[in-house]
Amino acid sequence: MAVDVPGSWKPSQDNLTKAEAVLEATKSSGNLYRNGLGMIASENIVSPMVQKVVCSDLHGRYAEGLPGKRYYQGCDDFDTIESLGIDLAKKVFKANFANIQSTSGTVSNIAALKALAKPGDKITAVSTADGGHISHARMGAVGLRDLDLSTYPWDIDRMEPDIDGACDLIREINPKVCLIGQSVFLFPTPLEEISAAAHEVGATVMYDGAHVLGLIAGGQFQDPLREGADIMTGSSHKTFPGPQGGFLLSSSEDNAIHRKLNNAIFPGVCSSYHLHHVAGKVVALAEFEEYGEQYARDVVANARHLGESLAAEGFDVLAEGRNYTASHQVLTRHGEIDSGAGAKAAKLLEDSGIITNMNMLPGDTKALSPSGLRLGVQELTRVGMGKNEMAEVARFFARILLHGENPLNVKKDVSQLKSNFHIIRYCFNEEEQSGYIL
Ligand SMILES: Cc1ncc(COP(=O)(O)O)c(C=O)c1O
């Protein structure tokens, strides 16, 4: 006899109400981005075909191991998906090794550090105050692995590591791993110099491309695996326009290193690795092969346009001397160091439907009351915005933050602009997509 099916029970009103509240909030969040401007530098939107696989039955399945070497039955179709994905990732990132199982950029970093270093080993990285990620710090993955961290000196004008100082530091302390890459990432790192110093002392160069992976794959930023990086980690959902997840890539041709990296992911730091997201990454990789170069070019051009337009409106945009940016990011300062002016600006913008984040800029010491904003244009680019729209966005910023206009007035104009940009571009079956997921 069949079991009593829970659906036939009358659910408690309390639990039903909670579940419905989740649905409502989910729809409301979708509407916020549908009607507003998503400008968080670490976010993106996924294509219709990626949405389909992410919402598929795969979300509940397991496939520990690698294609053809599984601990569970039922994985033949997923083997097809993952094998395709490994090949595509190697092609898109021009890597000799790819693992596409990692569930986030942080997980990729934890796995890479597990494979590359032992507790007590020395590591060099960019400090969080200069834009390094928390996983590069003692409070994150570096501390989890109990590594001995030294941070590079920073060139504030160029917004990159001070190259001579970084190379001297590496030669002086002989680290096991030289970690490169930031969350605040405006310009490519002069990697060849750092890699030469690192290799001289026998260190591995690990490049964290979480933010800029889509620009790298599209050939519009730098090419770390050819500029000396041995390992590249990253998120699959920032400038790379896939679902949330991570990549672990290497230029090494050594099978022993490949095994070490694979083992660091499973059984190292993942068991289930979110098959629906892996399938989404594979679709995103296939779409990237087709449209990625143009997308990455348009993102970088839009970031430049936004930087120029904000400066023309009167904002203090960082790195003026280097044309503001060579990535998807633009940084603006809104008041005195540590004044919290960035937090206030982010809140006012949110009231108008423009979603950004406050950010520490050089000199700031308080993460919760910084003076800056970090802006990203990758999502606006994905829905087809270009130079004119960047100028319009800069005008919205000026109306709210420089001329004191009520953000609720500006909200109507923000939503009017956005109503013309609901179709996700640079992907297969654009025409199927008439809006954001709600
Ligand atoms: C440089 C860098 N590395 C790693 C990460 C972590 O990525 P994820 O959020 O995918 O864990 C971030 C996130 O913003 C980042 O900026």
Listing DSSP states for 15-53 in one string gives: HHHHHHHHHHHHHHHHHHHHHSEE--TT-----HHHHHH
Task: Flag whether 38 is in a domain.
Answer: no
Tally the domains of the chain.
2
Mark whether 260 and 370 lie in a shared domain. no
Mark whether 228 and 185 lie in a shared domain. yes
Mark whether 313 and 343 lie in a shared domain. yes
Ligand 1 midpoint to CA 279 (Å): 21
Task: Flag whether 230 is in a domain.
Answer: yes
Give the amino acid at 425.
R
The SS3 of residue 229 is coil
Ligand 1 midpoint to CA 312 (Å): 31
Average pLDDT (31-35) is: 95
What's 413's domain CATH number? 3.90.1150.10
Q: Is the CB of 135 under 6 A from ligand 1?
A: yes
Please tell me the number of Cα atoms within 13 Å of 153 on its side-chain side: 11
Which tens digit of pLDDT belongs to each residue from 186-226?
999 999 999 999 999 999 999 999 999 999 999 999 999 99
What is the C-alpha to C-alpha distance for residues 273 and 17, in angstroms, rounded to an integer? Answer: 31
Q: Is the CB of 357 under 6 A from ligand 1?
A: no
Give the predicted TM-score (pTM) of the model: 0.96
Note whether 179 and 123 are within 8 A (CB): yes
Q: Is the CB of 183 under 6 A from ligand 1?
A: yes
Q: How far, CA to CA in Å, does 338 sit from each of 153, 186, 331, 391? A: 21, 21, 15, 28
Mark whether 130 and 243 lie in a shared domain. yes
Q: Is the CB of 182 under 6 A from ligand 1?
A: yes
Ligand 1 midpoint to CA 130 (Å): 15
Mark whether 128 and 236 lie in a shared domain. yes
Nearest CA to ligand 1 atom 8: 105
Ligand 1 midpoint to CA 338 (Å): 24
Which tens digit of pLDDT belongs to each residue from 98-115?
999 999 999 999 999 999
Instruction: Tell me the sheet residues that pair with 206.
Output: 179, 231
Ligand 1 midpoint to CA 132 (Å): 10
Ligand 1 atom with the smallest distance to the CA of 244 is: 10
Mark whether 180 and 216 lie in a shared domain. yes
Which tens digit of pLDDT belongs to each residue from 284-343?
999 999 999 999 999 999 999 999 999 999 999 999 999 999 999 999 999 999 999 999
Query: Which of residues 15 and 218 earns the better pLDDT score?
Result: 218
Q: How far, CA to CA in Å, does 385 sit from each of 137, 295, 369, 429? A: 36, 11, 31, 19
Mark whether 273 and 305 lie in a shared domain. no
Indicate the residue among 255, 285, 315 that finishes a domain. Answer: 285
What is the C-alpha to C-alpha distance for residues 266 and 273, in angstroms, rounded to an integer? Answer: 9
Indicate the residue among 285, 314, 347 that finishes a domain. Answer: 285
What is the C-alpha to C-alpha distance for residues 17 and 399, in angstroms, rounded to an integer? Answer: 40
Q: What is the 3-state secondary structure (H, E, C) of 245-308?
A: CEEEEECCCCHHHHHHHHHHHHHHHCCCCCHHHHHHHHHHHHHHHHHHHHHHHHHHHHHHHHHH
Q: Rounded to the nearest 5 degrees, what angle is found at the Cα of 325, between the Cα atoms of 322 and 331?
A: 110
What is the C-alpha to C-alpha distance for residues 409 and 389, in angstroms, rounded to an integer? Answer: 18
Task: Flag whether 353 is in a domain.
Answer: yes
Ligand 1 midpoint to CA 5 (Å): 42
Which tens digit of pLDDT belongs to each residue from 110-153?
999 999 999 999 999 999 999 999 999 999 999 999 999 999 99
Task: Flag whether 26 is in a domain.
Answer: no
Q: Is pLDDT of 56 > 60?
A: yes
Boundaries of domain holding 308? 292-432
What's 245's domain CATH number? 3.40.640.10
Q: Verify cis geometry, omega within 30 degrees of 0, for the bond prior to 175.
A: no
